[in-house]
């Protein structure tokens, strides 16, 4: 059963665990919250943090009061015992200086009577030296401090850190739950396609609906096809990708390549993911070299990682589309 409107339906299992920590007064010193992008991990963690900090929590409802001194400071973003750490920009790691700053803060006493809560967003962006500094901080846990790491890429979190944390996985909801949630939040459009594009993540699907992702995908797919007949230039398509970098374009392209491989191999449409594009994909698949398609598949995965680093994105996309033309 959902505790309140701040807890999303698919948070239930994780929320039961977090509630149990509070009910049993056993808050883990470090918790690692995982799950794919677009499931509202931050929302859940912030709710839990506010609850830990609240001075007048009604324990029966497990809901922060929203009015005490702590809640007021929390909601205005100025609570001295709530610390958030995140990369300074999308293509940067979490710096070792940020962690050192945190460690010196940990030596100070808690300002209010409740907990101190430290949240590290995109924890996978701690590089090796940052992670080592962080581990040192975990060796001598200060009292009444809860450290919460959030990541959607668990495999990038060093095993030494994982082993020191209580792990909580936020599961992707069923398509029924996700569709129902989107509809009840007045998200319109092709919900099934939106969920396909976001791997079933409702909050990301909601965001995509609000930013015309379906039409961007259609335009990108047109460019992808027209490149083969030289009706658009590589420079144009690369520029289009840079302009729409907020979307996971390479995941979309990757899924088209997977479908092209399937169509080349079987010609049946049963396992094709982008069923709405089947006819165009079939036409496109005609003269493609299977081995080069496999190579291009790998190239999409590599480029997706590279684009998270500070590189010239235009050049990187251009290089990729040159390879697409050579398939």
Closest distance of CB 57 from Zn ion, Å:
6
Which residue, 68 or 169, is less far from Zn ion as judged by CB?
A: 68
Name which position in 3, 22, 37, 65 contacts Zn ion (CB under 5 A).
65
Q: Per rule CB under 5 A, is residue 71 in the interface with Zn ion?
A: yes
What are the C-alpha distances in Å from 27 to residues 19, 20, 45, 58, 139?
10, 9, 13, 17, 17
Q: Smallest Cα–Cα separation from 106: which of 124, 83, 87, 125?
A: 83
Interface positions, 183-222, toward Zn ion (CB under 5 A):
none
Closest distance of CB 39 from Zn ion, Å:
26
Which residue, 116 or 223, is less far from Zn ion as judged by CB?
A: 116
Size of the site for Zn ion (CB under 5 A): 5
Closest distance of CB 62 from Zn ion, Å:
12
Interface positions, 76-135, toward Zn ion (CB under 5 A):
none
Which residue, 49 or 182, is less far from Zn ion as judged by CB?
A: 49
Q: Per rule CB under 5 A, is residue 68 in the interface with Zn ion?
A: yes
Which residue, 4 or 315, is less far from Zn ion as judged by CB?
A: 4
Which residue, 44 or 201, is less far from Zn ion as judged by CB?
A: 44
Closest distance of CB 7 from Zn ion, Å:
17
Closest distance of CB 116 from Zn ion, Å:
16
Closest distance of CB 97 from Zn ion, Å:
33
Contact residues: Zn ion, CB under 5 A: 54, 64-65, 68, 71
């Amino acid at each position: 059963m959902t505790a309140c409107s701040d807890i999303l339906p698919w948070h239930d299992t994780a929320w039961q665990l977090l509630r149990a920590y509070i009910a049993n007064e056993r808050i883990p010193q470090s918790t690692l919250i995982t799950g794919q992008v677009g499931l509202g991990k931050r929302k859940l963690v912030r709710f839990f943090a506010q609850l830990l900090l609240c001075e007048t929590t009604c324990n029966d409802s497990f809901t922060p009061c929203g009015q005490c001194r702590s809640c007021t400071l929390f909601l205005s973003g100025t609570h001295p015992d709530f610390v958030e750490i995140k990369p300074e920009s999308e293509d940067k790691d979490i710096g070792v200086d940020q962690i050192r700053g945190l460690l010196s803060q940990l030596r100070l006493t808690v300002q209010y009577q409740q907990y101190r809560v430290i949240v590290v967003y995109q924890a996978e962006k701690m590089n090796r030296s940052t992670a080592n500094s962080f581990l040192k901080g975990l060796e001598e846990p200060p009292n009444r401090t809860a450290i919460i790491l959030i990541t959607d890429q668990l495999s990038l979190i060093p095993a030494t850190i994982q082993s020191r944390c209580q792990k909580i996985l936020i599961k992707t909801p069923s398509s029924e739950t996700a569709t129902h949630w989107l509809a009840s939040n007045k998200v319109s459009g092709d919900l099934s396609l939106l969920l396909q594009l976001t791997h079933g993540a409702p909050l990301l699907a909601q965001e995509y609906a609000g930013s015309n992702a379906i039409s961007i995908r259609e335009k990108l797919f047109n460019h992808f096809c027209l490149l083969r007949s030289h009706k658009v230039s590589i420079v144009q398509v690369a520029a289009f990708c840079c302009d729409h970098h907020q979307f996971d374009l390479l995941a979309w392209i990757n899924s088209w390549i997977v479908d092209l491989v399937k169509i080349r191999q079987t010609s049946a449409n049963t396992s094709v993911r982008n069923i709405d594009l089947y006819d165009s994909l079939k036409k496109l698949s005609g003269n493609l070299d299977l081995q080069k398609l496999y190579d291009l598949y790998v190239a999409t995965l590599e480029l997706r990682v590279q684009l998270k680093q500070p590189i010239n994105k235009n050049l990187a996309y251009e290089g990729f589309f040159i390879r697409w033309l050579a398939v």
